[in-house]
Amino acid sequence: MNGNILEYITEQYHSLTRSGKKLADYIFTNTSTTQYLSISSLAENSGVSEASITRFCHNLGLSGYNDFKLALAKSDYVTDLGDPSNSPETITAEDTMSSVFQKLHDSNVLSLNETLELLDEGNVAKAVDLLSDADRVYCFGQGGSMVMAMEAWARFSTATSRFIHIADSHMQAMNIALATSRDVILFFSYSGSTKDMEDIMNIAKNRHIPMILVTHFPKSRAAEFADVILLCGYNESPLQSGSVAAKVGQLFLIECLFYEFCKRNPELYAAARSASAEAITQKLL
């Protein structure tokens, strides 16, 4: 669809259904915040069903809700560097080098602070229970979240060989098809709404494999499958996909899981970390 999505909704407003008008009213009133919401959150906030939102998007000539969020982000004021302008941490081409550094620092600190506020000790304890008892822990993600899955695997690999990282979604599905209920999936998905993720989670559910989900959206599609949900902070616009600030909160969660995991058997994991450190030392000049 070409042009401003808000203008197009305004043009089509009188031909919308009752639920469509209700949704449009909410979007007009909450334009800046809507682009950060999952479809479940928007449905709850606006008082319409997820199916109504999907139909609304299709009637606008869009492929789906994610396409709508991107169009909405583009319709809002965007800086000359392509980011939304509704945040004090937004960077523009007019910023000095020092102000860029300060804004990036502020974004990362904000992500850490929000993630800390969202931390639920009970859920962390449940996640560590699953990780500690598992025969194998599969660290999964797609796109930018695949990088976070690799970070988790790399971190835990300093203490145990039970963590496995697989990047390719086909290989992920194949391995989960052969996994057992004694295994665990540690899944990273900021949005909690990707097709590959849902395919793998369906297989895991049928095989009764416990799943730990790291996400920003507690009511996302992935959350319906997860046994434990860990929330990361920072509102990332569709135009900021892959931002470091969003990853910082997830890295913090990985560290929290890692140290709680090591506390379960400190002598064993201290010895393992020492052995892995000595092995790497031989690689240094």
Q: What is the pLDDT along the chain (285 residues), one digit of tens a residue?
A: 556 888 888 888 888 999 999 999 999 888 777 877 888 889 999 999 999 999 999 988 888 888 888 888 777 655 545 565 556 677 788 889 999 999 899 989 999 999 999 999 999 999 999 999 999 999 999 988 999 999 999 999 999 999 999 999 999 999 999 999 999 999 999 988 888 899 999 999 999 999 999 999 888 889 999 999 999 988 777 666 778 989 999 999 999 999 999 999 999 999 999 999 889 888 887
38 close to 27: Cβ distance less than 8 angstroms? no
Spatial distance between the Cα atoms of 32 and 87, rounded to a whole number of angstroms? 10
- The pLDDT score that the predictor gives to residue 239 is 65
- The pLDDT score that the predictor gives to residue 208 is 97
3-class DSSP assignment, residue 88: coil
- The pLDDT score that the predictor gives to residue 172 is 96
Q: Which string of b and e fits 44-55 if b means at least 16 CB within 10 Å?
A: eebebeeebbbb
Q: How far is CA 183 from the centre of its chain?
A: 22
- The pLDDT score that the predictor gives to residue 221 is 85
- The pLDDT score that the predictor gives to residue 193 is 82
- The pLDDT score that the predictor gives to residue 121 is 96
Alpha carbon separation from 218 to 179, 222, 232, 270 (Å, rounded): 26, 9, 10, 34
- The pLDDT score that the predictor gives to residue 25 is 92
Nearest CA-CA partner of 256 in 191, 184, 186, 176: 186
- The pLDDT score that the predictor gives to residue 78 is 56
- The pLDDT score that the predictor gives to residue 87 is 64
Spatial distance between the Cα atoms of 29 and 190, rounded to a whole number of angstroms? 25
- The pLDDT score that the predictor gives to residue 171 is 96
* Single-letter amino acid code for the residue at 142: Q
- The pLDDT score that the predictor gives to residue 178 is 97
3-class DSSP assignment, residue 87: coil
